[in-house]
Amino acid sequence: MPKAWPPLELREVLAILRALQLTYSCSKGGHDFYVGMHNGRKRKVTVDPKCAPFSSYLLQSMCKQAGCTRQEFYGATYKTAAKIS
């Protein structure tokens, strides 16, 4: 049985954010910020590249910041969708 929140590498998270139409905005204190519109609302997702591979706690936080469900987040790319199916 697959894990509910399997860990993801930095390149996988960045691919998901690009698929969700979020673009790089800026860096501050070692954190990267990605902004864009999702579900009609402006979203800002914080990514700490030094924390990769990302734990379930950080992935849940990124998913909430992006305003999407777990299925939408992991399903944004073919490779990550295979991890939860």
Q: Exposed, middle or buried: residue 17 (CB in 10 Å: 0-12, 13-18, 19+)? A: buried
pTM above 0.85, yes or no: yes
pLDDT by 10-residue block (mean), the chain, 85 residues: 79 95 95 93 96 93 94 89 76
The radius of gyration computed from the CA coordinates of the chain, to the nearest angstrom, equals 12
Q: Provide the residue type at 28 as one letter.
A: K
Domains of the chain: 10-77 (3.30.920.30)
Q: What is the pLDDT of residues 1-14, one digit of tens each?
A: 357 888 999 999 99
Q: Which residues of 27-48 are buried (b: 16+ CB within 10 A; e: fewer)?
A: eeeeebebebebeeeebebebe
